[in-house]
Structure 1
């Protein structure tokens, strides 16, 4: 069989995730300290697990409505309203999905026709561009830099809008940089978007992991933006529910209705037990979120201090659970640095160019690990830098 001619050329041309590459390399060694994967090291709070067990014991294992349990959609609206002071119609404007990733995929496929452009600030998570490509759209990178805090600026946005621009992805708090868009930043973006037909896909999966005195702000809170925004969030990061595969989208009914169509044919519904458990998460686990956020904040300060003391300039992240230090002074490329670090000192991190070309010269380091895990990794990285003659 000539599989090269049989398989979709578009799919063959896609590259595998740069994150998974180093995760797989790490798995091939027995003694690797990995700071490569963005997965909480906390167990899912007991109240959530207990509810899932109860649901299984009751035999509630059938399909739910395609859009999700009504009680869960109501709880999601209450959660959004409590934090963002914005309300949605649970029946027509909220869709429960298989993780936040499916919600992103559905939003892009519901919006994009062949040739439409989607603006994507970079560095950013690896899925946006490939999903746009699979939808026959054109991903357009908007490069950000450490000089502006890795934020999307109004000037950069203006410069990239064309007659083909259909949507803008807002990936904040940001993976991999930890950058956060504050209210004043979002107001400037809103000013550019007003008067256009551009739809915003706001990926706020890390919204609960925002540090400092200023709380997370969403673009939907800015005047005139709710009706042109699909808000994406989920349970993986804030509630430590990665394996439960549950996310949601909230947005204008005309868009969510089309997303529901795709979800209906491709997925049917999200996992039933996860949905019941998620109601408990939203109603009863606020203290668990606060505890985990506090722990991440302590790790954040430790790891930023560690890299800065080693002479690797590190932008201080204000959200998520990643740092994005510069490794340019080593003279190695991002790929070379990561390959040599894992081979010689058994520490796995992710090269910055996995998140866009402008990520070259950086590495992504996750601090979703224990303090001892982080301290051991920092010691090994220091030894690596000494071997390179940087320290």
Structure 2
């Protein structure tokens, strides 16, 4: 099947072709016709499957097929909500690329940058708005955005938005939209909470699920290295050096842990930087740019900060610490092995994390191979200790959400950071940067 058979306009197909894409991915083959029909859609797809083009291309088509009859500046007809800055920037970049030959205006909004340039652009008129929930509500509170004409709503990575505690923000935004609209919900996993959200939002939706729920890609080679907790950094440095790994994305549970690990690796001669919610927009953009270009050997990230990182043929993902929630393991390693390319995902597991590892293996329905590196044999005398910090802390998902509810912003000015620790930050919701390398699979 080619894009030519999906009923898209010649000027959209021209843009797609110029980007080097000829055949749609499975999610695109199913989503594009479903969206073109105008009905609601519930789509499940792992990261790296091309889901962004799956909704962007047919949305552009629908806007052109049903032009606004009103004259004057454009009104917001499409609203795309994403959990993080990086993902928002990536989605809007895709819209601009695919719609380069169309007379449609798009823009991206997120926190961490000045609001006045966004206000100016909104005043000039926008057809398609991509935004994080927090910054959108900032504009709502200042009455600088009009959502009364929205025809299509997209909730991208809805599972992550719920994990980050945005459900209240989403409900506030939904209350501002016209009741008659097309709703598209995309999620990597179908938890009970996602199903509940879908039941309340979608009207007789088409259902698309292109990968087994919570499956890991066959193109990712997974391995576990048992190691004592105090020797993880030493082992990581050895693996990177011995195997000459470059472009290594390393996950920690907390922002403090990411900072500390990046500093330690950098001192050992392994160029490393950390990325998380407390980093400035400029620092995040710089780190991502250098990592994508290959100048930076290691990028250490928290779960939330890494969401939306999109790198062509990223070869290595390392779980320096296992996530508290098993589903996040799938999200983490989904950063590699994309678009049919091979990737490697390794996990450094200490005695504290054996229960987390067992939960991950139950979720993905497979046992992960273990390899002990000579000289790093596990000391059986070391007893497990509680994992006190991390995305959820000792209370698990519920504990995390409770913490977020306690810090829920009231005036659109302050939001609790969701990548560990409960530190406050401005209402931006993730990371920045958009200009990554072109991938074989449309975004």
Taking structure 2 as the reference length, what is the TM-score of the superposition? 0.34
Taking structure 1 as the reference length, what is the TM-score of the superposition? 0.38
Higher helix share: 1
